[in-house]
Structure 1
Amino acid sequence: MKFTPQALLGKVVVLYFYPKDNTPGCTTEAMQFRDHHQDFADAGAVVFGVSRDNMVSHDKFKQTLELPFELVADTEEKLCHMFGVVKNKIMYGKKVKGIERSTFLIDAEGMLRAEWRGIKVAGHVDEVLKAVQDLKNPV
């Protein structure tokens, strides 16, 4: 599937950006989105994971973890820059550009409804799911 705004119109979209396939935090986060996949689907949302890894890496990551959602290979960082998630990080004493773990909630009209930046993995997926459910059932 080609990832275009037109293809997603009419759908609630959860777009989560993560630094790298097969790393501890990213694996945990992917597994949590996997384990709640049916809850997101029941609430009318589609989930996409996004990183700068290529499709070969994504396919392996997806297969290993049995992920039921698509991973977007943003090798040219177009989506990453559109959402402003590329940040300078210090790794092993060197400055590097990396992806800040972030999640965005986009409603069926294509409007950004919520964003979480620089998040910690623990409890995050539950928070996103609640926001999706609140979109469907406003108080």
Structure 2
Amino acid sequence: MPTVELNQPVPDFEAPATGDQTVRLADLRGKNVVIYFYPKDNTPGCTTEGQDFRDRIAAFEALDTVIFGVSRDGLKAHENFRAKYEFPFHLISDQDETLCRLFDVIKLKKLYGKEYMGIDRSTFLIDRDGVLRKEWRGVKVKGHADEVLEAVKAL
């Protein structure tokens, strides 16, 4: 499978999401789409990142922009995480890593001296025509949602 490239159309995909939905990129044409990949539900950085996007949802919606969080967690964990923090956007479950591979976010990571393959916190901005306009890799959570919002405004 190819991976996404800046200023190129993102290949259509479909993936299971919270709310018993299937997200299809083709169905989102005409809207800007923010997809943020995070390592794991209910961990400190991932919770803060979700809350930062949640707290700015009105500004994103005013710019005709939808947000999706993506991790390898299952739908049940996603539903609980979403409800606990009242995220007004859906979370996509990518247990088979199809989207992770498409967006090339699986990287070798280290924790306590052990190496493993995990999600590199990354965000992608897709415009109304389905073209990838901006990507952030190796994201630091603080200030990130504001930076994404500014990029949407600049479209």
Specify the TM-score bucket, using the shorter chain as the normaliser: over 0.9
Asked if 1:86 is matched to 2:113, the reply is no
2:35 match: 15
Gaps of 5+ in 2: 1-20
What is the identity percentage for the equivalent residue pairs of Structure 1 and Structure 2?
55
TM-score normalised per structure 2 = 0.86
Match of 2:88 among 62, 68, 82: 68
1:103 match: 123
2:139 match: 119
**Displacement after TM superposition at 1:93 (Å):** 1.3
**Moved segments of 4+, more than 6 Å:** none
1:5 match: 25
**Displacement after TM superposition at 1:5 (Å):** 1.9
1:38 match: 58
Deviations 1:8-63 (A, max 9, x none): 11110000000000000000000000000111000110000000000000000000
Deviations 1:50-97 (A, max 9, x none): 000000000000000000000000010000000000000011211101
**Separation (CA, whole Å) in 1 of partners of 2:83 and 2:25:** 26
What number of residue pairs does the alignment pair up?
135
Gaps of 5+ in 1: none
Structure whose residues are more often helix by fraction: 1
Asked if 1:55 is matched to 2:75, the reply is yes
Cα RMSD for the two superposed structures: 0.6
Amino acid corresponding to residue 46 of structure 1 in structure 2: V
